[in-house]
Amino acid sequence: NHFGFEVSVLAKTREDLQRIFDACPFSEDQKKASHFMMLHKAPAKELVTEASEKVYEGEDYQILNDCIYYFYEKGLGQAKFNVNYFERKFDTFATARNYNTMVKLLSLSSQ
C-alpha cells in the first residue's frame, strides 16, 4: 500500500441487504428515520450483552446478528453511539447507511 493505510471493505449481497432491511425491529415511522450499521461479523453474545447495558436517553438500538439497527431522536450528529464505538466494542469493522440509502441499494441491486 503506497500510503500505509489499511482499508476495510464490506460487501453484502442483495439477499443480505434485503434480510437486514426486513429484520429492522423498529416501527415503520422509526425505521424510516433509523440507520443500519452492517458489521463485518456478528459479535459474540457476551459482547452484545455487555454493550446492551449502556443506554443513552433518546437513543435506541437493537443488535441482531450482523447488523445494529439504531434510531436517534435528535439525529445522528448528536448521538453518543456511533460506528467507531461499536467497531471498538466488537473488534470488527462496520458501515452505516440510512433508510433512504438502503432503499436505493435494494432498488439498484434488483436491476
Give the amino acid at 86.
F
Bigger pLDDT: 75 or 57?
Answer: 57
Pick the CATH number of 27-109 from 3.40.50, 3.40.720, 3.10.350, 3.30.70: 3.30.70
Identify the CA nearest to 73 among candidates 33, 24, 101: 33
What is the C-alpha separation between 47 and 90, in angstroms, rounded?
7
Q: What is the mean pLDDT of residues 51-60?
A: 85
What is the C-alpha separation between 98 and 70, in angstroms, rounded?
10
Q: Which pLDDT score, from 0 to 100, does residue 1 have? A: 59
What is the C-alpha separation between 48 and 5, in angstroms, rounded?
29
pTM comes to: 0.87
The three cell numbers locating residue 71 = 434510531
Rg for the chain, CA atoms, rounded: 14
Q: Which pLDDT score, from 0 to 100, does residue 68 have? A: 95
Q: Which pLDDT score, from 0 to 100, does residue 73 have? A: 79
What ranges do the domains of the chain cover?
27-109
Cα separations (Å) of 19 from 66, 74, 91, 98, 109? Answer: 11, 27, 23, 15, 13
pLDDT in tens, 60-102: 899 999 999 999 877 667 777 888 889 999 999 999 999 999 9
Q: Which pLDDT score, from 0 to 100, does residue 52 have? A: 84
Q: Which pLDDT score, from 0 to 100, does residue 9 have? A: 86
